[in-house]
Amino acid sequence: MDLLNTLVDKGLRREPLSRAEALAVLGTSDDELLDVVAAAGKVRRHWFGRRVKLNYLVNLKSGLCPEDCSYCSQRLGSTAGILKYTWLKPDQASEAAAAGLAGGAKRVCLVASGRGPTDRDVDRVAGTIKTIKERHEGVEVCACLGLLSDGQAERLREAGADAYNHNLNTSEATYGEITTTHTYADRVDTVRKAHAAGLSACSGLIAGMGESDEDLVDVVFSLRELDPDSVPVNFLIPVEGTPLAEEWNLTPQRCLRILAMVRFVCPDIEVRIAGGREVHLRTMQPLALNLANSIFLGDYLTTEGQAGKADLDMIADAGFEVEGTDQVTLPEHRVGGCATQESAGCGSHEGGGVCGSAGETPPGQARTDLVSVRRRGAGTDLAPNA
């Protein structure tokens, strides 16, 4: 396809796509899917080789959030039967992180529910960051604590944080339909605060919430304008007890097309497959490694993911390799402007995603059996999945 040849050339030269080109990727047919994956794979390999970066989530504080984000099982009014607990102590968080690091993760993502941290919360997280870094040499730490106030990003950086995650989630035009307790502009402001403080900015999206192709292109172009080092692509996990529990709109093919679109728009940025890959990509997950160069290992915040050993087997079987702690994630031209030599981050809240428009999944084919609430790891006495 002439379109794909053009997009590969642009990706190798870091030339911006037009909106029409990005929409055309989403509009390709299933017959063209492998051609799309192969083309985007050339761009991925040019900038990131065959390395896959592993990231590990630690949910520092689960549930009881005052915000009303419709996709989140921790939201105000959620009846989802998730784990609910207050702040983990630094030793507990470090122990949880150790499991992920032992499984091959090079970045730990510290996440806490809530609108945003108080100054006391920042002090608490700063202590946790210091404990983890003292016990695990070379580990990268990303914080994901919600909306930041002035000066908080700087304090997290001083404590040793390498990155800060705050996702845009969806387009500005549709944001008010998903969340009413804060605004799209609030999220943009927090990403900019992280940038200004010298943290590696991480910001991504959630797809599968009934948005249009135009909405998906809008949010990805907005992310590109913010220039994060990492873009997590979440696939909505429709959890019972949330307003979006019936939104089963995704197919594996649709997810791959959107991942390809993100790669073409963000050719030299770390693209991470985040929440929901097991639920929506299913047996097509190995193909997605040709598009994204980063994944989360093991479980998510309130739901269970694929077993860590299965993740490692999948990477090896697909012909990729786990990125080592001595390897730099970002291309050289991006490293100079970063606070750290890595990119990364964590998906804010729970699985959102990168996939498709409403109506994509035929009726009766929702895989509700693949959604399982997390019952192990942080906040429990059971060993984590890593």
Residue by residue, DSSP assigns 279-339 as HHTGGGHHHHTTT-SEEE-S--SSB--S-HHHHHHHHHHTT-EEPPTTS--S-HHHHTTSS
Q: Where are the domains of the chain?
A: 17-370
CB 296 within 8 A of CB 275: yes
Q: How far apart are CA 350 and CA 182, in angstroms?
A: 17
Residue 95 neighbours by CB under 8 Å, 6+ apart: none
Residues labelled catalytic:
65, 69, 72, 109, 142, 202, 272
Nearest to 334 by CA among 321, 320, 344: 344
Amino acid at 22: A
CATH code for the structural domain at 17-370: 3.20.20.70
Residue 118 neighbours by CB under 8 Å, 6+ apart: none
Per-residue pLDDT of the chain (386 residues; tens, 9 = 90+): 799 999 999 999 999 999 999 999 999 999 999 999 999 999 999 999 999 999 999 999 998 899 999 999 989 888 888 889 999 999 999 999 999 999 999 999 999 999 999 999 999 999 999 999 999 989 999 999 999 999 999 999 999 999 999 999 999 999 999 999 999 999 999 999 999 999 999 999 999 999 999 999 999 999 999 999 999 999 999 989 999 999 999 999 999 999 999 999 999 999 999 999 999 999 999 999 999 999 999 888 888 899 999 999 999 999 999 999 999 999 999 986 443 433 333 333 333 333 333 334 444 467 777 777 777 788 787 788 77
